[in-house]
Amino acid sequence: MTVRLHLGILPAHRQAAARLYWQAFGGKLSRVLGPETKALAYLDRVIRPDHAIAATENGALLGLAGFRTPEGGFAEGSLADLRAVYGRFGASWRMAALTALSHEIDNGRFLIDGICVAPAHRNRGIGAALIDALCTEAARRGYGAIRLEVIDSNLRARALYERKGFRVLRRDHLGVLQLAFRFASATIMVRSLR
């Protein structure tokens, strides 16, 4: 079978997308969005299907690449969404932590909001294909550059991004936030589309 890339997550893939996103980012988000059952309920509630490129094969979701626009991000919810899953108190401190981590919009660059590939389908070029599709979508929308963040412990992802033409813009240190998010710093990387 051939892997197909398309804009948007199909309704039938919504829960699979939430699980895939949690598999990829749960390690760094578990202290804030865990336990897993609540995190999956939250992600299923907030995922914006129109803010992702999906990789599918034979009807199954193999990977996805979320992005952020001025209208919001792929897996970005509101305080009301957090309250619906975690209650009033749980929502308050979680919103504070998530807001401190990042709610940045970069009007000059297309922002990647997470790339993930199912473990059984890694090393097939799906991540690289998703990056290419993101670059195509960004250019279609008129952006001259694309930007992402990669945590410093994810050396494999950073190597892929460097192979795909991304260059380091800066490194952000989390400081005390690293206690909540399980990583100390992230590297901001940019690729020109011109």
Angstrom distance (rounded) from CA 34 to CA 182: 13
Evaluate whether 55 touches 130 at the Cβ level (below 8 Å): yes
Predicted pLDDT of residue 193: 94
Quick: pLDDT tens for 101-125. 775 666 678 999 899 999 999 999 9
Angstrom distance (rounded) from CA 85 to CA 104: 24
Token pair of 137, please?
């979508």
Predicted pLDDT of residue 61: 97
Predicted pLDDT of residue 134: 97
Predicted pLDDT of residue 6: 95
Residue type, 40: L
> Of 122, 131, 118, which Cα lies nearest the Cα of 65?
131
Token pair of 84, please?
């619906």
Quick: pLDDT tens for 128-152. 999 999 999 999 999 999 999 888 8
pTM: 0.89
> Of 53, 20, 29, 75, which Cα lies nearest the Cα of 130?
53
Is residue 83 over pLDDT 70?
A: yes
For the chain, the domain total comes to: 1
Quick: pLDDT tens for 72-82. 889 999 999 99
Longest dimension (CA), the chain: 47
Residue type, 142: G
Predicted pLDDT of residue 119: 93
Quick: pLDDT tens for 1-58. 599 999 999 999 999 999 999 999 998 888 899 999 999 999 999 999 999 999 999 9
CATH number of the domain to which 145 belongs: 3.40.630.30
Predicted pLDDT of residue 71: 84
Domain range spanning residue 82?
4-192
